[in-house]
Structure 1
Amino acid sequence: MIVIMAGGRSRRMGVEKPVIRVGGKPMLLRVYGQAKVVDDVVVALSRNTPRTKELCLREGIPSVETPGRGYVEDIQWLLREFGPFISVSADLPFIKASDFQIIEKAFDGRTSLTGVLSLEKIPQDLNPTVYRGYAIVGLNAVGTEGERLFELSNPLLALNVNTPEELKLAEKIARLVEK
């Protein structure tokens, strides 16, 4: 199962990120369209995301409402509800079905996988979160027994749209790669 994390407060953007359009399409629909090719998908919402909930209802996308106390708490709640799963942030507009397939194939259902990119693969305009010499991306596998880093290859996974500047960059990229 793939869970799209779409219940955050989006403080830096000031509006619910999953409904923001990149290349003319809400980011949630971009992520969902790629995920549903690979596995069953559910969108994790919270009281913080009423517009995202409306979008899911309108589009017939399965969703579940989490407690919405924070990312870690919601992940733990989802793990109790569904067991091990693949998680993805709703703000990764350039994720591909192949990215889901790669992490799903590597996931043993027990050990969590934290998706990372080699820093050499990161486009210059981005300032990713760096951990142990890698850029952390919003694609992970959530298990019950420990954790390890899992290197991915799609450099556009480094673009989480968290700020207006990153949204502008995503729009430029969309125009370039989706002609």
Structure 2
Amino acid sequence: MIVIMAGGRSSRMGAEKPVLRVGGVPMLLRVYREAGKVDEVLVALSRNTPRTRELCLREGLPFVETPGKGYVEDVTYLLRELGPFISVSSDLPFVKGGDFRAMKRAFDGRTSLTGVLPLKLVPGDLNPVTYRGYAVVGLNAVGGEGERFLELSNPLLALNVNTPEDLKLADRIAKLVGR
């Protein structure tokens, strides 16, 4: 199962990120469509995201309510309720079905995987979170035993939309790549 994390406060953006449009399409729907090519998908909401809930109801997207206290707390809650799963941030507008397939193939259902990109693949105008020479992306597998990195190859995974400037860049990229 793939769970789209869409219950955060979006404090840096100042608006609910899942409903913001990239290339004319709400980011949540972009992520949902790609994830749905690979597995069953569930959207994780919280009281922090009423507009995202409305979008899910309008589009018929299945969702689950989380406590909404923070990312780690929500992931822990979901692991307890659902068992192991693949998680993806709703603000990764260029995630592709192939990225989910790579994560699913590598996930043994026990050891958590953190999706990363080698820094040499990160476009120069992006400023991703880095750790040990990698850009950390918002695509992960959640298990209960330890953790390891999974190198991915889609350079646009480095664009996690957190600020209005990121949103403008994502919209420009969407127009260039036609999606």
Q: TM-score, normalised by structure 2?
A: 0.99
Could you say what the CA RMSD is over the residues aligned between the two structures, in angstroms? Answer: 0.7
Question: CA deviation digits over 1:71-114, x for unaligned, max 9?
Answer: 00000000000000000000000010010001100000000000
**Offset at residue 132 of structure 1 (A):** 1.0
Question: CA deviation digits over 1:136-176, x for unaligned, max 9?
Answer: 00000000100001100000000000001111110110010
**5+ long unaligned stretches in structure 1:** none
Distance 1:165 1:25 in 2: 17
Distance 1:3 1:172 in 2: 27
Instruction: Give the structure 2 partner of residue 74 of structure 1.
Output: 74
4+ aligned runs moved over 3 Å, structure 1: none
**5+ long unaligned stretches in structure 2:** none
Task: Map 1:1-179 to 2 at 5 A.
Answer: 1-178=1-178
Distance 1:167 1:69 in 2: 25
Distance 1:147 1:164 in 2: 32
Question: CA deviation digits over 1:5-47, x for unaligned, max 9?
Answer: 0000001111000000000000000000000110000000000
Q: How many residues of Structure 1 are paired with residues of Structure 2 in the alignment?
A: 179
SS at match of 1:76: helix
